């Protein structure tokens, strides 16, 4: 065999050395990438099922949700904060603060400086001055993580001057399948832009519960619709590189109970309606006496009534942890189910539909309890706890993300019995 000439052997040796160096550099870069990825948490997806009571899991239509609960951890009940309403409790879930601390004290409220707030007032909803505390998407960003939220109260506002990295304004017309596909698309992004914390929201169970009642066939169909959407999410995750590597936290903001609007507690029958402004109505009523009428309104309302009790801000039951925020009205009247509190004028407003289901009642009542299910590597299969509080969830989310929570009022140990002890770090 003819040997190569010395120059040829020299060039081949140089080529081999260069190739070796390139391979070593590639391996080093890949190792660095893996090391960087391992310092990030597994994705945490918070799924809000508005108005979903924990006993709905036993409905035949909740097959996927029930399976997730059986394969993961669940609470037999999650007690909402007072008032047991949508915006206050969605924000409690992500801040770990009771409404009296974070400032969203009702779905409808007044602020001496900011004016009126209601869920349908888009300008107010997007004004960060209404939203106190530190929501988890800001805590996560403060620790260098990326966030993406699909419809969660507070995400449209510039809280502390910040939004999530990716967020969408609420759009009821975006159907469940499109919502699921958006979350899957976020998770499919390159590592540099892929979110660590995400939210997803479904309102159907709450909407139908109000319109048709919690015991209606329509409610069961709404549960099935949400279950189908969650099944599509799981199918999409299982077909992705994230199969078995996403921690899901499924929560409701409150429960739902049957109400009877044919027998309302009418404030008109108790006090001159010209003597006060009605700030909110329903299971509870927020009442602001007009100037010079405070004693008159107080004398009429702050006495014993059948199926209703009224409070000054300092007089609420201590377990409600409510009444110190300046947005709490001068008088709040709280009904017992199935009663609601209103005036004749609001009940006869054009276009108003009669409701057959409601919430906003005492958070300790069984029908006000909310869903909690955790599923993923961080949760111990088949585990249960008797009860947690919605104010505890923020600390859990921070724990799953491996970040230090901001000041909060929750119990960081409330979910210990559900957790597997497996690290939240990516693998």
Question: Residue 75's domain is classified under what CATH number?
Answer: 3.40.720.10
Judgement on whether residues 145 and 68 belong to the same structural domain of the protein? yes
Q: Are residues 220 and 312 in the same domain?
A: no
Q: Is 348 a catalytic residue?
A: no
- Angstrom distances, CA of residue 180 to CA of 149, 228, 233: 12, 11, 6
Say if residue 278 is in the same domain as residue 144: no
Q: How far apart are CA 46 and CA 375, in angstroms?
A: 11
Query: What is the reported pTM?
Result: 0.89
Of 354, 383, 417, the position where a domain reaches its end is 354
Task: Tell me how many domains the chain contains.
Answer: 2
Cα–Cα dist 110/130, whole Å: 10
CATH of the domain at 272: 3.30.1360.180
Task: Looking at the structure, tell me whether residues 130 and 230 fall in a common domain.
Answer: yes
Residue 16 belongs to a domain: no
Cα(301)–Cα(115) distance, integer angstroms = 25
- Same domain, yes or no, for 61 and 170? yes
C-alpha neighbours within 13 Å on the C-beta side of residue 332: 27
Range of the structural domain that residue 198 is part of: 44-257+362-425
Report if residue 5 sits inside a domain: no
Pick the last residue of a domain from 354, 382, 406.
Answer: 354
Whether residue 182 sits in one domain with residue 66 = yes
**Residue 8 forms part of a structural domain:** no
Sole residue written with tokens 């009022």: 409
84 Cβ partners below 8 Å, 6+ apart? Answer: 254, 255, 283, 359, 360, 361, 362, 363, 368
* Pair (76, 138) in one structural domain: yes
Residue 269: closest CA among 298, 292, 307, 300: 300
Q: Which residues of 35-58 are buried (b: 16+ CB within 10 A; e: fewer)?
A: eeeeebbbbbbbbbbbbbbbbbbe
Q: Do both 286 and 397 map to the same domain?
A: no
Domain identity same for 59 and 187? yes
384: CB partners within 8 A, 6+ apart:
73, 74, 75, 76, 417, 418
In a domain? residue 35? no
Q: Which of 311, 328, 354 is the last residue of a domain?
A: 354
344 shares a domain with 419: no
Query: For each of the chain's 427 residues, which pLDDT tens digit applies?
Result: 333 443 444 444 454 444 334 434 434 443 333 334 457 899 999 999 999 999 999 999 999 999 999 999 999 999 999 999 999 999 999 999 999 999 999 999 999 999 999 999 999 999 999 999 999 999 999 999 999 999 999 999 999 999 999 999 999 999 999 999 999 999 999 999 999 999 999 999 999 999 999 999 999 999 999 999 999 999 999 999 999 999 999 999 999 999 999 999 999 999 999 999 999 999 999 999 999 999 999 999 999 999 999 999 999 999 999 999 999 999 999 999 999 999 999 999 998 999 999 999 999 999 999 999 999 999 999 999 999 999 999 999 999 999 999 999 999 899 999 999 764 444 3
Catalytic pick among 39, 64, 86, 384: 86
Closest CA to 186 of 177, 176, 196: 196
Cα(408)–Cα(133) distance, integer angstroms: 8
Quick one: 83 and 99 in the same domain? yes
CB-based contacts of 40, cutoff 8 Å, min separation 6: 145, 196, 425, 426
Residue 3 lies in a domain: no
Residue 7 lies in a domain: no
- The reply to whether 67 and 101 lie within a common domain is yes
Residue 36 resides in a domain: no
Query: Contacts for 115-121 with beta carbons within 8 Å, 24 or more apart?
Result: 119/86, 119/87
């Amino acid at each position: 065999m003819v040997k190569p000439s010395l120059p040829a052997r020299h060039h081949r040796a140089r080529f081999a050395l260069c190739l070796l160096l390139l391979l070593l550099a590639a391996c080093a870069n890949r190792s660095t990438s893996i090391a960087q990825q391992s310092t990030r948490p597994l994705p945490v997806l918070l799924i809000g099922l508005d108005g979903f009571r924990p006993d709905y899991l036993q409905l035949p239509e909740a097959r996927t949700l029930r399976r997730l609960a059986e394969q993961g951890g669940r609470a037999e009940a999650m007690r909402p904060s007072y008032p047991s309403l949508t915006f206050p409790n969605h924000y409690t879930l992500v801040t770990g603060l009771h409404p009296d601390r974070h400032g969203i004290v009702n779905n409808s409220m007044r602020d001496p400086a900011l004016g009126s707030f209601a869920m349908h007032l888009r300008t107010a909803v997007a004004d960060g001055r209404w939203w106190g505390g530190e929501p988890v998407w800001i805590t996560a960003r403060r620790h260098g993580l990326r966030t993406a939220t699909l419809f969660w109260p507070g995400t449209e506002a510039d809280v502390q001057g910040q939004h999530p990295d990716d967020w969408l304004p609420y759009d009821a017309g975006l159907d469940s399948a499109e919502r699921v596909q958006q979350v899957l698309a976020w998770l499919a992004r390159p590592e540099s832009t892929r979110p660590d914390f995400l939210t997803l929201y479904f309102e159907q169970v709450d909407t139908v519960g109000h319109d048709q009642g919690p015991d209606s066939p329509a409610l069961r169909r709404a549960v099935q619709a949400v279950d189908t959407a969650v099944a599509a999410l799981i199918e999409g995750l299982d077909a992705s590189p994230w199969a078995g590597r996403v921690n899901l936290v499924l929560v409701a903001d409150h429960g739902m109970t049957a109400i009877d609007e044919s027998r309302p507690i009418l404030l008109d029958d108790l006090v001159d309606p010209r003597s006060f402004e009605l700030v909110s109505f329903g299971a509870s009523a927020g009442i602001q006496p007009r100037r010079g009428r405070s004693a008159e309104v107080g004398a009429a309302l702050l006495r014993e009534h059948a199926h209703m009790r009224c409070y000054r801000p300092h007089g609420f039951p201590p377990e409600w942890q409510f009444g110190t925020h300046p947005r709490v009205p001068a008088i709040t009247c709280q009904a017992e189910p199935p009663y609601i509190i209103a005036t004749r004028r609001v009940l006869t407003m054009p276009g108003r539909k009669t409701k057959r289901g409601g919430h906003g009642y005492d958070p300790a009542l069984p029908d006000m309890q909310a869903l909690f299910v955790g599923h993923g590597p961080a949760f111990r299969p088949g585990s249960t706890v008797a009860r947690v509080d919605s104010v505890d969830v923020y600390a859990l989310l921070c724990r799953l993300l491996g970040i230090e929570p901001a000041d909060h009022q929750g119990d960081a140990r409330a979910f210990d019995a559900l957790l597997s002890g497996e690290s939240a770090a990516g693998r």
